Amino acid sequence: MTETRDLIAARVRADPGVHFNELVRALDLAPGQVQYHLRRLEWVVAADLYGQTHYYPPGYDADERRALALLRRETAADVVAVLLEAGALPATDVAERVGIARSTLSWHLDRLTEAELVRDDRDARNRVVLSLVDPEGTARLLRRAEPSTPGRLVDRFTRLVDSLLAE
């Protein structure tokens, strides 16, 4: 009983931003069980982001919660990793380094710029140049973000479709 609750608590602490289905699948529990214990765990913060309910341990503010939900997407994490390494980089170079179609990059960028993780500026030649708004803070969150297997599959599927349709 409390053992199950401890398992759920440990998972939320280890994987901030974990979503409901993932808890059910990873811990091999009934959805009702997970729901019951989550309600009993008063320190767990729930947030509806991008069509899923994510669960967080305390200590993350609303911006950080949203950033974690985004960085759990493999491709978004790849984009951020390239920018951490390169600093500021033209968008076309970012797409090339990550190995994704421009349409894939632009879809992820919409969310990353909206969440104010990534800034897009124009250089003298009117190219879009990307950089991180807060490299240190984002790097810290990136280390905590762990994509789920279904999330990874969907991400790779969209990468494949975009690149097939692009050329």
By C-beta, is 67 or 101 nearer to other proteins?
Answer: 101
Q: How far apart are alpha carbons 50 and 108 in whole angstroms? A: 12
Q: Which of 25, 39, 127, 140 binds other proteins (CB under 8 A)?
A: 127
Q: Which of 1, 28, 42, 51 binds other proteins (CB under 8 A)?
A: 51
Pick the stretch among 1-9, 17-25, 30-38, 123-131 that binds other proteins (CB under 8 A).
Answer: 123-131
Q: How far apart are alpha carbons 40 and 128 in whole angstroms? A: 47
Does 154 interact with other proteins (rule: CB under 8 A)?
Answer: yes
Q: What's the closest the beta carbon of residue 26 comes to other proteins, in angstroms?
A: 18
Pick the stretch among 2-10, 12-20, 132-140, 155-163 that binds other proteins (CB under 8 A).
Answer: 155-163
| CA distance readout (Å), 160 to 37, 56, 129, 166 | 38, 31, 25, 10
| CA distance readout (Å), 92 to 43, 53, 113, 128, 138 | 43, 33, 16, 8, 22
Nearest CA to 55 out of 89, 3, 16, 103 is that of 16
Binding residues vs other proteins (CB under 8 A): 51, 91-92, 102-103, 106-107, 120, 122, 126-128, 150, 153-154, 157-158, 161, 164-166
